[in-house]
Amino acid sequence: EAGVVQSPRYKIIEKKQPVAFWCNPISGHNTLYWYRQNLGQGPELLIRYENEEAVDDSQLPKDRFSAERLKGVDSTLKIQPAELGDSAVYLCASSFGHSSYEQYFGPGTRLTVT
């Protein structure tokens, strides 16, 4: 069984540029999460989807971040424009059901903003 797939694995951009991350969850998992992990810290939830619906986006900086999950499968997280402080690892995770189920994480995208 394939795991959570993310691309790209690494991205280096200059500040004020846009960037997008893509995630393909495990087949059959209807809950998808985007996390941001800063160096030496635990993952912090940005947004959670139940199928196509964003049920928790309270931690998503909506002035520059946007996300979508069309057709309830793949998801894209976008930052426009990027700031130096956005440098982090962006992790996508999926689970079979709601948040109380174990989450399966993808390898992450390491973003460096210069």
Partner 1 sequence: GQQVMQIPQYQHVQEGEDFTTYCNSSTTLSNIQWYKQRPGGHPVFLIQLVKSGEVKKQKRLTFQFGEAKKNSSLHITATQTTDVGTYFCAGHTGTASKLTFGTGTRLQVTL
Task: Give the number of residues in contact with partner 1, rule: CB under 8 A.
Answer: 21
Q: Write down the least CB distance from residue 100 to partner 1, Å.
A: 5
Q: Which of 44, 80, 83, 85 binds partner 1 (CB under 8 A)?
A: 44
Task: Please state, as a whole number, how many other Cβ atoms lie within 10 Å of the Cβ of residue 54.
Answer: 15
CA angle 77, 81, 86 (to 5 degrees): 65
Alpha helices in the chain (DSSP H): none
Stretch that binds partner 1, among 7-15, 19-27, 41-49, 72-80 (CB under 8 A): 41-49
Can residue 26 be called a binding residue for partner 1 (CB under 8 A)?
A: no
Both structure tokens of 102: 């174990």
Q: Write down the least CB distance from residue 81 to partner 1, Å.
A: 27
Both structure tokens of 4: 């959570």
Instruction: Find out whether 35 and 46 touch, Cβ atoms under 8 Å.
Output: yes
Can residue 91 be called a binding residue for partner 1 (CB under 8 A)?
A: yes
Q: Write down the least CB distance from residue 20 to partner 1, Å.
A: 20
